[in-house]
Amino acid sequence: DGASQEGINYGGYFLSYFLKTLDLVDQLLGVDLIAPCEFLRNVPYFYLYSAIPRRSWSDRQLLFHFGDGFPSDWAPSPDRIIASRFQSGLAQWLADETEKQAGPEKHGAALNLLWLDPALSPAPPTSLPTARHFKDQDLFFMRSDWSGQEAVCGFKCGPHSGHRGLRHYNHEIGGGHMHPDAGTILL
């Protein structure tokens, strides 16, 4: 569903290298492992719903932090490659908005030259529902609107490794970056 069991920071760090690797595999071997991946298709939704109101964005923090609750966003967002690969106007919009606030270095500016699809029109989230349940992690976000000045509430009520992780593994799968934080509410 696009939500990482390691939260935004370590999950984003993993995604930045994972997507670079998958892109290289596609370019060098002709094997596209990105297109069939529903998790990657949903990552922009996880980032969007995890966002604090845009009026509160800073160059250090754009997102709520469940899991490894580091107080700033330090991994590049994967929005540009996901936007181009999935032709997602929403991911393009999110990358544009993030870059305006946090600067191009937050997005891995050098690779954005390769991944940016200038023909893809950004699509703001105004038509999306204001609430979303990310079922694997049981993360629920609700907001009053998408104006950038909205009230936002995030609630986590799922297992630390997610339901899929619990079904398939009997050990901690997040490199020590998952917290037993079910019941956390962020406003």
Quick one: average pLDDT of 84-105? 85
Q: What is the pLDDT of residue 177?
A: 67
pLDDT exceeds cutoff 60 at 107: no
| Residue range 134-186, pLDDT digits in tens | 998 889 999 999 999 999 999 988 887 788 878 888 777 766 666 677 788 88
Quick one: average pLDDT of 66-94? 80
CA–CA separation, 89 vs 102, rounded Å?
Answer: 20
Q: What is the pLDDT of residue 121?
A: 97
Burial of 167 from C-beta contacts in 10 A (0-12 / 13-18 / 19+): exposed
